Amino acid sequence: MTENKSNDPANDSSRRTFLKYMTMLGAAAVSVGVLRGALQNIAPAISGITGGFPTMQLVDSSGNPIKTTSLVVNNPQIVTFNYPLQSDPSFLLRLGDSSNNDKVINPVSVPASPGFPAFTSPGGTGPYKSVVASSAICQHLGCKPPAIRFHPPSASSYPGKIHCGCHGSTYDPYNGFSIITGPTVHPLPNITLNWDSTSDTYSVTGMLGPTIYGQPSDLSGGTPFPSGTTKTTVTSEVP
């Protein structure tokens, strides 16, 4: 080990600097190689379903199809089903006026919200055009029922509104679930229902409007139904 480096003709500072930079290039190559692999590896695959929105029949807990008579107008209970993924609660509402008579819900245009264009809400379905459905996950910060729920027109607070108790967002189910008060900046995603007039049964066929809160798309980012599932169960709970 020679201590006096300057006497060594093979050792000059420019070559040392060159070697240093070459080593740094090598280290950079190693970092790129490791980071590419590591960063891509630690993000898991997104779970969800492929293809379009599934069509699912609404059934009760015994598996029998939901009929119009089994839906209560202005039901004070929280009536939900899961759609399009098993982890996506959605509201099922049979809307009425303050005397609890069915109210016709007409298709309305819901204005654009940040990142999402305006869309036409499908309006009510069923024999009285009064049954509507939407995502039950608040678009503000993702609260789920019972924190967010429909208050019937006879209620003392928020009559006829969907109100989220977490931060106070209010939506209007009679107007395409559009925003009444913030802090939400998006309306609730609308769910399209299809009513079969001969058998009086309901099925869900798709969604309109913003993407369900917290998911990269409506069909991914949650727990999917087991493959081959064609029915989704409607449940009610007392708030």
The contact set with another protein (CB under 8 A) reads 1-3, 5, 8-12, 15-16, 18-20, 22-23, 25-27, 29-30, 32-34, 36-38, 40-42, 44-45
Residue whose CB is less far from another protein, 2 or 198: 2
Beta carbon of residue 232, minimum distance to another protein (angstroms, whole number):
25
Beta carbon of residue 50, minimum distance to another protein (angstroms, whole number):
15
CB 184 within 8 A of CB 176: no
Residue whose CB is less far from another protein, 36 or 167: 36
Contacts with 172 (C-beta within 8 Å, 6 or more apart), sequence order: 160, 161, 162, 178, 179, 180
Residue whose CB is less far from another protein, 28 or 118: 28
CA dihedral 158, 86, 210, 102 (to 10 degrees): -40
Beta carbon of residue 42, minimum distance to another protein (angstroms, whole number):
6
The tokens for 178 are 């559009």
Beta carbon of residue 39, minimum distance to another protein (angstroms, whole number):
9
> Over the Cα atoms of the chain, what is R_g?
28
Q: Strand 148-151 relative to strand 109-110: parallel, antiparallel, unpaired?
A: unpaired
Residue type, 88: D
Residue whose CB is less far from another protein, 17 or 109: 17
